[in-house]
Amino acid sequence: MYSTKSAELLGSILCLSHQSCCLLGRTVADPKTVADLFVEHFASNSRKDPAAPGARHRQSMESLSVNFSSTGGESYKVPFSVSELQTALSQCHDSSSGPDDIPYAFLRHMSYSAFTFLLNLYNMIWHTGDFPSSWAVAVILPFPKPGKDNLQATNYRPISLTSYTCKVLEKMVNVRLMWYLERENYLSSVQYGFRKMRSTTDALLSLESSICEAFANHHHQVTVFFDLEKAYDTARCHGILRSLFNFGLRGHLLIFILQFLSRRLLRVRVGRFLSEASALNDGVPEGSILSVTLFAVAINGVIDTLPDGVHSSLYIDDLCISFAAARMSLTEGKFQLAINRVSRWANINGFRFSTSKTVAMNFCYNRGVHPDPDLYLSNRHLSCVEATRHLGLVFDNRLTWVPHFRSLKASCRKALSLFRVLSHTSWGADRDTLLLLHRTLILPKLEYGCEIYSSATDARLRVLDSVHHAGVCLATGSFRTSLILSLLVHAGFWPLDLRRQSSLFRCWFRTHRLPDSVHCVSILRDSRLQAYATRPSLPKHFGL
């Protein structure tokens, strides 16, 4: 449980029927009309703009027919087995049911005859390619974006509810698709999103490793963090199918994906009111199991456009590219070339980068004043910032981690306020419940990314100890003057420094599971040891 805002957001949605909504100059308060406004807005995100850059090229590519028929011998076209369905059901977690009101719990506890019927149904869909039309309907819950005007429909994030019966089949199809893509090494080596033995930690470690190497070599490293506008809505279905076809996929698997992406409809729910159905022209549905993998295929080609020597990291749609050199003039020239190629690739494939949210950073540990890089994206100047959030961590240009620790303390302070309410002397939660809340609300925030920010100095890391100790004190009802180590032993917690060391060891062994990967080689190379010996004040990457 990393986020504590779900209840607040849900409350905002449930109260939406008593609020107004504005879109394209129209302000309405009727819940049914609000739902219709939302569905109009969300459906428009996937509509093709004939005047957009690269539209003519995409139109000519989509006019080319593709033969999806099987060539025979594909190992991924066999019928689904009992073990595959059992594994898919065991990985389902209870949550809100989809439009058909069939929850995961119902599917997990059905009888053997119902289980056999469901498996036969899945295999019939797999072999015939007949995708049920009811599975193509998604119900959207609009959740307000934090810190935005809730009266504007454009400031809501769509969360899709789709059929859970379909999601189980998606799980089995996705396993076969990922097995094929991984076996043939079609996914980029710097794509860390939703892949086995890869995580956000690996993407962050890759970036931090390149920054530390630039510091050790007295270089400037310029990094640009790209922000994709409406990423899933603008992923072109034909481009995804064309990429999978070029990867060698044929037969049932490709036909199922074609049917899955075709003729999709969406409806928006506001309170108890549902909008009319609206067709989606393009894009992949958010909230679906297959959508993440299909989007990874759609964005996979952007890495191939980068010039040699440009470091990159990709977590689904979170892209950052870096280049380091001794002089800023060399960095700017090479980097502008990389940005131009990324922008050209995005135009051809229908993606749009937000020029206001895409930012640059100049990582440099040298003394003196250093000019900011002069970079442009789509003829608009990129702002250069001193700190920015990437995959949950706040990076600053000298890698001190002070801005991240401030943000982390502010986030944990809200959870501690809940502790103070619940830890009343005459009423409230008991000790075990409060310790459980500390373990689920506080510790995950403090430990996320600790493998990366452990390069901070001991004095800065001790700032987080006060948050850990405050939570344990409130949970156990101890005095603030209690001995810290005794208090942690009494509560059954390790000190944060030992927990960080444990995480570092686990990360070290996990990284060594892929010893020949580009990721492992780039992180664990020892070419910087001599530089660190002469400059002990440099932030030290965990691989050293």
Mean pLDDT of the region 84-103: 86
Neighbours of 211 (CB within 10 A): 26
- Span 409-459, pLDDT tens digits: 999 988 888 888 888 777 778 889 999 999 999 999 999 999 999 989 999
pLDDT of 538 over the 80 cut: no
pLDDT of 305 reads 95
- Give the pLDDT confidence score for residue 23 in this predicted structure: 57
- One-letter-per-residue 3-state SS of 49-62: CCCCCCHHHHHHHH
Of the given ranges (4-18, 320-334, 469-483), which has the lowest mean pLDDT?
4-18
Q: Give the model confidence (pLDDT) of 507-528 as tens digits.
A: 888 877 776 666 666 666 655 5
Pairwise CA distance, residues 433 & 91, whole Å: 27
Kindly state the percentage of the chain with pLDDT values over 90. Answer: 45
Token digits for 254? 């490709």
What's the CA gap between 341 and 335, in Å, rounded?
A: 10
Domain segments of the chain as ranges: 21-49+69-190+240-281, 200-229+304-393, 402-513
Which neighbouring-strand residues pair with 28?
21
> Could you report the per-residue pLDDT of 260-273, keeping only the tens digit for each?
998 889 899 888 88
Q: Is the pLDDT of residue 544 over 60?
A: no
Quickly state the pLDDT bin for 540 (edges 50, 70, 90).
low
Q: Which CATH number fits domain 200-229+304-393: 3.90.1200, 3.30.70, 3.40.30, 3.30.160?
A: 3.30.70
Report residue 344's pLDDT band, with 50, 70 and 90 as the boundaries.
very high
For residue range 218-232, what is the model confidence (pLDDT) as tens digits?
898 999 999 998 889
**DSSP E strands, 7-153:** 21-23, 26-28, 137-144
Stretch 214-243: mean pLDDT, rounded? 91
Q: Is residue 366 pLDDT above 70, yes or no?
A: yes
Q: Give the distance, in angstroms, between the CA of residue 331 and the centroid of all CA atoms in the same chain.
A: 29
The residue among 90 and 149 whose pLDDT is bigger is 90
Other C-beta atoms closer than 10 Å to the C-beta of 359 total 18
Spatial distance between the Cα atoms of 140 and 160, rounded to a whole number of angstroms:
5
